[in-house]
């Protein structure tokens, strides 16, 4: 029974609200103080790969084309050493109903909501996922509410966020637009409790299973087109679901040797919960403000156990600058005739650099594209940046400073990537995990084994890190 709608009262009920709205008793998967049965959590959804692909095919999701970027590959080879310059492909996820790979994760969640008899679905997101949930809910005949962190305290919204609001409403969803701050999760909990809707969270196992089909398709299509499994797959990295689901799908297709590269826009120095900084970032997703926190502690999500566990799957983690993504976005349009939004072009900017490192017979696959529109276009974002006093100029993109200046490359040879130290992220993850424990809590062998799996480390190395932190 509800005992109040004030902030503290609602937050005190969050575990029950989440359990009721997702239908998963996460406690049954606990194996220790930190450990839980991750694979059973995913398998208990009942959605095997073939079943997920069948469900998606009924709503026109998936089976998107793999496009070879001949002209961008040619540019790469002019910059690379002789014999270098891998073929670049892109999985054109803009062909999905709402225009992004997020349709895949929404499709399984909405199907589950319909199967269980929920009257509607709800999601908290400022991104493409809201449009995907709204689109799939419309197809299923379910009502939909999207809770969106949309504006700063002056009521100013980024053009990209405003575009996503429009898309959600076009599919018939009700959009609750909030200013930046802690009220987002509180309001979302209230919506779930008051409506009884299904929580189509980005971080449930249903979401991850939906993305597995993307990795699986990608492996099959690359083999068909290039005669080999992909050597490198570059995935835009934010909350971790994109990396996790794609990597798991690749493994299910037998693509065990593929290097999984996570790519994020470097927004170091900007605080994602800051009203001042909210509109000073020209990217609403795929940036370090999400990717670093979720990599080093996945369970900061809106469910008790996040099914997106990126450190389990990342082989390499790189960052690119805002200016480089804008540059590659325009290059893709002018050289390949593909006008696509910024999220997938984050990984394309990284792929352009990584392809230079590889031999010409190798393949680099950009794992997704997204639709574009007036609000998503680089000019809209850059115009807002200028209005906020951010300098926009041409030159060495490494000289840009998030929130102060955006430097767009003057020549493609200026594109580069900066590698993120995965070992440092593993140590940060472990410190965050240990900080959740009550003083004096003893770790079991199951806990150590889980931490090793979650960080792709040996149990000995994990025990050594634990000893260093205690």
pLDDT digit string, tens, across residues 28-56: 999 999 999 999 999 999 999 999 999 99
d(CA 323, CA 385): 12
Asked if the model's pLDDT at residue 67 lies above 90, the reply is yes
**pLDDT at residue number 2:** 60
Can 7-51+100-205 and 57-98+206-419 be said to share one CATH topology? yes
Phi/psi of residue 123, nearest 5 degrees = -150, 150
Phi/psi of residue 284, nearest 5 degrees = -95, -10
- What are the C-alpha distances in Å from 432 to residues 43, 61, 142, 292, 300? 27, 37, 38, 12, 10
Better pLDDT: 145 or 12? 145
**Tens digit of pLDDT for each residue in 235-257?**
999 999 999 999 999 999 999 99
Which ranges constitute the DSSP H helices of 388-444? Answer: 422-435
Asked if the model's pLDDT at residue 291 lies above 90, the reply is yes
Banded model confidence at residue 469, pLDDT cuts 50, 70, 90: confident
d(CA 253, CA 196): 38
**pLDDT at residue number 377:** 87
Asked if the model's pLDDT at residue 198 lies above 70, the reply is yes
**pLDDT at residue number 465:** 87
Banded model confidence at residue 467, pLDDT cuts 50, 70, 90: confident
- What are the C-alpha distances in Å from 322 to residues 5, 8, 245, 325, 327? 41, 38, 25, 5, 9
Banded model confidence at residue 273, pLDDT cuts 50, 70, 90: confident
**Tens digit of pLDDT for each residue in 336-351?**
999 999 888 999 999 9
**pLDDT at residue number 342:** 86
Question: How much of the chain exceeds pLDDT 90, in percent?
Answer: 82
**Rg of the chain, C-alpha, whole Å:** 21
d(CA 96, CA 104): 8
Q: Architecture of domain 7-51+100-205 in CATH?
A: 3-Layer(aba) Sandwich (3.40)
Give the tokens for residue 43: 């398998």
Torsion of CA 294, 298, 303, 306, to 10 degrees: 120
Q: How far apart are the first and last CA of the chain?
A: 42
* CATH code for residues 57-98+206-419: 3.40.50.1100
Tokens 């590889």, located at residue: 358
Tell me the pairing of strands 232-236 and 391-395.
unpaired
d(CA 339, CA 331): 9
Helices 205-226, 49-58: crossing angle, 10 deg rounding: 90
pLDDT (average), residues 364-383:
92
Task: Enumerate residues 6+ apart whose C-beta is below 8 A from 431.
Answer: 469
d(CA 391, CA 389): 6
**pLDDT at residue number 388:** 94
Banded model confidence at residue 373, pLDDT cuts 50, 70, 90: confident
Is residue 98 packed enough to be buried (19+ CB in 10 Å), middle (13-18) or exposed (0-12)?
Answer: buried
Range among 114-128, 176-190, 348-362 rated most confident: 348-362
Beta bridge partners of 318: 263, 419
**Tens digit of pLDDT for each residue in 301-331?**
888 899 999 999 999 999 999 999 999 999 9
Domain residue limits, the chain: 7-51+100-205, 57-98+206-419, 426-468
Contact 452, 463 (CB under 8 A): no
Asked if the model's pLDDT at residue 408 lies above 80, the reply is yes
Is residue 274 packed enough to be buried (19+ CB in 10 Å), middle (13-18) or exposed (0-12)?
Answer: middle
Burial 416-453 (b: 16+ CB within 10 A, else e): bbeebebeebbbbbbeebbeeeeeeeebeebbbebbbb
Tell me the pairing of strands 66-68 and 87-91.
antiparallel
d(CA 189, CA 11): 8
Q: What is the DSSP string of 98-111?
A: TSSTHHHHHHHHHH
Asked if the model's pLDDT at residue 281 lies above 80, the reply is yes
Neighbours of 174 (CB within 10 A): 16
Give the tokens for residue 277: 């900084």
d(CA 378, CA 312): 33
Task: Enumerate residues 6+ apart whose C-beta is below 8 A from 181.
Answer: 149, 273, 275
Asked if the model's pLDDT at residue 1 lies above 70, the reply is no
pLDDT (average), residues 273-280:
88
d(CA 128, CA 16): 28
DSSP 95: G
d(CA 293, CA 302): 14
Better pLDDT: 362 or 285? 362
């Amino acid at each position: 029974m509800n005992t109040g709608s004030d902030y503290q009262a609602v937050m005190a009920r969050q575990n029950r609200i989440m359990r009721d709205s997702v239908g998963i008793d996460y406690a049954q998967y606990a194996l220790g103080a930190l450990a839980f049965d991750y694979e059973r959590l995913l398998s208990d959804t009942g959605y095997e790969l073939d079943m997920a692909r069948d469900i998606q095919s009924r709503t026109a999701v998936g089976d998107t084309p793999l496009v070879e970027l001949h002209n961008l590959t040619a540019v790469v080879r002019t910059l690379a050493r002789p014999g270098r310059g891998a073929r670049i492909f892109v999985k054109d996820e803009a062909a999905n109903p709402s225009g992004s790979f997020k349709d895949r994760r929404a499709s399984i969640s909405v199907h589950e909501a319909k199967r269980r008899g929920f009257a509607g679905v709800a999601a908290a997101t400022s991104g493409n996922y809201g449009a995907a949930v709204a689109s799939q809910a419309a197809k299923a005949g379910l009502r939909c509410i999207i809770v969106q962190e949309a504006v700063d305290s002056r009521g100013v919204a980024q053009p990209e966020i405003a575009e996503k609001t429009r898309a959600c409403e076009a599919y018939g969803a009700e959009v609750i637009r909030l200013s930046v701050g802690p009220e987002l999760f509180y309001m979302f909990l209230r919506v779930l409790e008051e409506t009884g809707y299904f929580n189509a969270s980005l971080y449930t196992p249903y979401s991850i299973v939906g993305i597995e089909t993307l990795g699986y398709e990608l492996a099959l299509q690359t083999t068909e087109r290039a005669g080999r499994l992909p050597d490198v797959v570059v995935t835009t990295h934010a909350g971790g679901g994109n990396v996790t689901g794609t990597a798991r799908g690749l493994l299910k297709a037998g693509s065990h040797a593929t290097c999984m590269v996570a790519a994020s826009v470097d927004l170091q120095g900007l605080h994602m919960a800051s009203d001042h900084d909210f509109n000073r970032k020209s990217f609403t997703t795929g940036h370090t403000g999400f990717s670093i926190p979720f990599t080093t502690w996945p369970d900061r999500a809106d469910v008790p156990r996040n099914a997106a566990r990126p450190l389990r799957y990342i082989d390499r983690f790189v960052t690119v600058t805002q200016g480089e993504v804008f540059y590659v976005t325009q290059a893709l349009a002018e050289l390949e005739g593909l006008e696509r939004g910024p999220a997938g072009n984050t990984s394309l900017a990284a792929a352009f650099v990584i392809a230079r490192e590889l031999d010409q017979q190798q393949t680099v696959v950009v794992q997704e594209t997204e639709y574009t529109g007036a609000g998503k276009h680089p000019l809209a974002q850059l115009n807002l940046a200028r209005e906020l006093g951010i300098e926009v100029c041409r030159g060495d993109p490494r000289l840009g400073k998030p929130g102060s200046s955006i430097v767009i490359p003057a020549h493609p040879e200026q594109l580069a990537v900066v590698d993120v130290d995965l070992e440092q992220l593993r140590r940060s993850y472990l410190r965050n995990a240990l900080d959740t424990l009550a003083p004096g809590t003893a770790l079991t062998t199951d806990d150590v084994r889980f931490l090793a799996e979650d960080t792709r480390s040996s149990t000995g190395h994990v025990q050594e890190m634990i000893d260093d932190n205690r």
